[in-house]
A and B are shown apart, each in its own frame.
Chain A
Amino acid sequence: RMEASCLELALEGERLCKAGDCRAGVSFFEAAVQVGTEDLKTLSAIYSQLGNAYFYLHEYAKALEYHHHDLTLARTIGDLLGEAKASGNLGNTLKVLGNFEEAIVCCQRHLDISRELNDKVGEARALYNLGNVYHSKGKHVASAGTHEPGELPDDVRNALQKAANYYEENLTIVTELGDRAAQGRAFGNLGNTHYLLGNFRSAVLAHEQRLLIAKEFGDRSAERRAYSNLGNAYIFLGEFETASEYYKRTLQLARQLKDRAVEAQACYSLGNTYTLLQDYEKAIDYHLKHLVIAQELNDKIGEGRACWSLGNAYTALGNHDQAIHFAERHLEISREVGDRSGELTARLNLSDLQMVLGLSYSTNNSMMSESHVVDNSLNGTRPRAGRRYSMENMELMKLTPEKVQNWN
């Protein structure tokens, strides 16, 4: 009676998770664990599904706990395939938690067992997971580093190159297996890895494949991702017109899919692209659209970025009143969110604008007075020369892969 009850609860948990209601599914699985069972393989399946449900709910500490239970259990009962699966899931979870070294060990175990069992599907999946871990590791190390532009640190490059190799290996197998969905995923992440490595042409080729497969499946989210990634790659190829076309497709799909955050991102990308094209009216148009959504979503960081971009674009058009308005707003928001470098940038922008407008620095406005101090501290011969680059310089700048890495 108890056995049946545990199983019933677990089956209901499975049904709910499959229907997309992981939260309710978790309750049933946890109830099933409470009731308990002597059948360790059933318990292993319950732990595994609990781990995955928590993973999808972004509760990674819980996911880690249950995948760990599952792994221990699978080893105890000598279920090799079960151990492989648990290792893979544990690896993915450790990756999200930033524990890359342990994640690699787990994913490698998944790979080794899959090869031992001659399980091609498992092998391919393990390779994809390993690619993902190395990609995340590379990105993480790059963002934490304080390296100079023009130098992609060796550890970052090595990790990204390994990621690319694993994706390529995965692609060989899933192509043999004729698994188009898996090919799509691998192409997408391979493209992103090439992008970080600065191989923009290769990135475009991979994302074009991803796009093709997304269309085959009618998968509009994947299609949108591909457009966005293609836009990013074309920016760094200096082909801004092409980039703007892809960002427009991204925007179109974001609107169809009713994803406001993604819509905002697309508007922001378009604003930046039109800035690069020196079409400041259009840039302002998109940055304003981005601003509205950022405010709607209460995204302060996005709002600050929008104000900063708008300040620059209005400056370019010589609309100094609007430029000052947005520079002030940028300063306010930077303070609010504790963005020190944003705050400094905003102050410098304001002091520049005030100088051009011939305003006195000693106003009653405390914000202005403070910017006076900053300006004095930087006083001397054109202290701002190296601070900002013109768009002309931007276009001429040799966009080496290393620089790109540093910018992210």
Chain B
Amino acid sequence: SQPLSGRQAAELQSKVVPSKQILHSDNMEMEPETMETKSVTDYFSKLHMGSLVYSCTSKRKNK
């Protein structure tokens, strides 16, 4: 390649690397969301219908 002018090379080097963009993609890592949960079994156990749930569950397991 062609010889570089020392001054030009120095000038180019001094301009190296933009500042703003360099950190552009520093990803911020967020914590996960928490969702509220409901369950059909919770409801049945609250209603003291555990036996029904039990029968359903065991029936399912036997399939």
Residues of A bordering B, CB below 8 Å: 4, 7-8, 10-12, 14, 41-42, 44-46, 48-49, 52, 55, 70, 82, 84-86, 88-89, 92, 110, 122, 125, 128-129, 132, 135, 182, 184-186, 188-189, 192, 195-196, 222, 224-226, 228-229, 231-232, 235, 265, 268-269, 272, 275-276, 305, 308-309, 312-313, 315-316, 318, 320-321, 345, 352-353, 355-359, 384, 387-391, 393-394, 397, 407-408
Contact = CB atoms under 8 A, between A and B. Distances in A.
A321 B2 CA distance: 11
A87 to B, nearest CB: 9
B41 interface: yes
B48 to A, nearest CB: 14
Nearest to B14: A390
Contacts of A186: 31
A368 to B, nearest CB: 15
B25 to A, nearest CB: 6
A8 B56 contact: yes
B15 A390 contact: yes
Contacts of A14: 39-41
Given A45-B39, A189-B30, A229-B29, 18 more contacts: A7-B52, A8-B56, A45-B42, A48-B36, A48-B37, A184-B31, A195-B28, A222-B31, A232-B28, A268-B25, A272-B23, A313-B17, A316-B16, A356-B9, A356-B12, A357-B2, A389-B19, A394-B17
B51 interface: no
5 contacts: A8-B59, A14-B40, A46-B40, A358-B3, A388-B18
CB-CB nearest 3 A-B residue pairs? A85-B36, A225-B29, A48-B38
Contact of B40 (A7, A84, A272, A352): A7
Nearest to B24: A407
Contact of A8 (B8, B33, B60): B60
A263 to B, nearest CB: 12
Contact of B17 (A7, A132, A390): A390
B56 A185 contact: no
B36 A4 contact: no
A45 B17 contact: no
A41 B2 CA distance: 80
Contacts of A321: 1
Contacts of A41: 43
A11 B60 contact: yes
Interface of B: 1-5, 8-9, 11-43, 52-53, 56-57, 59-60
Contacts of A7: 40, 52-53, 56
A338 B5 CA distance: 35
Contacts of B17: 275, 312-313, 315-316, 388-391, 394
A232 B26 contact: yes
Given A4-B56, A8-B59, A235-B23, A315 B8 contact: no
Contacts of A391: 16-17, 19
Nearest to A302: B25
Given A125-B34, A229-B28, A391-B16, A11 B5 contact: no
B18 A312 contact: yes
A300 B27 CA distance: 17
Given A11-B60, A356-B9, A89 B36 contact: yes
Nearest to B1: A357
A52 B35 CA distance: 7
A222 B23 CA distance: 22
Contacts of B32: 185
B20 to A, nearest CB: 6
Contact of A272 (B22, B31, B34): B22
Given A48-B38, A128-B34, A185-B31, A388 B23 contact: no
B23 to A, nearest CB: 6
B22 A394 contact: yes
A394 B28 CA distance: 21
B16 A315 contact: yes
Given A8-B60, A316-B17, A389-B18, A305 B29 contact: no
